[in-house]
Amino acid sequence: MEPLGPDLSQALPPLIRNRRAPIKSLLLDQHLVAGIGNIYAAEALWRAGIHPKRAGNRISLARLSALTDAVQEVLAEAIAAGGTTLRDFATPDGSSGYFAINLQVYGRQGEPCLRCGTTLRAETIGGRTTAWCPRCQR
């Protein structure tokens, strides 16, 4: 499924509800949805207030719907900021395109959460580093 398709918020939540893997891993699963980069997944989870290690089948459909909205929002911002692809990418001059978006949680572990001030944590989940707020992401 394409991440910016109009049916994402309808189609993705029921698929995630059937899976026991951590939501962060599910967002990066190319069989479920194509092309959400690691950084964008972390940003969307923070915006939606969902803990990256929460199992897919333990998140309500309403919260999953908020998450798909957040995913589309983050990707739209990345594209508006000059991204040419939705994956973690490099621009023609070699710089990393994702730095074009305002990162609110990714790479900020040890710094205060911009929403609540709690110190952000980070851990490797499914081989990829993820940062999150232990207070506002449940």
Regarding 136 and contact with Zn ion (CB under 5 A), the answer is: yes
CB 85 within 8 A of CB 92: no
Question: Any idea what DSSP says for residue 22?
Answer: B
Regarding 133 and contact with Zn ion (CB under 5 A), the answer is: yes
Of 17, 63, 115, 128, which lies in the binding site for Zn ion, with binding defined by CB under 5 A? 115
Of 113, 125, 130, 132, which lies in the binding site for Zn ion, with binding defined by CB under 5 A? 113
**Alpha-carbon torsion (65, 32, 36, 39), positive or negative:** positive
CB 106 within 8 A of CB 120: no
Phi and psi, residue 36, nearest 5°: -90, 115
- The site string for Zn ion over 65-104 (x = CB under 5 A, - otherwise) reads ----------------------------------------
Binding site for Zn ion (CB under 5 A): 113, 115-116, 118, 133, 135-136
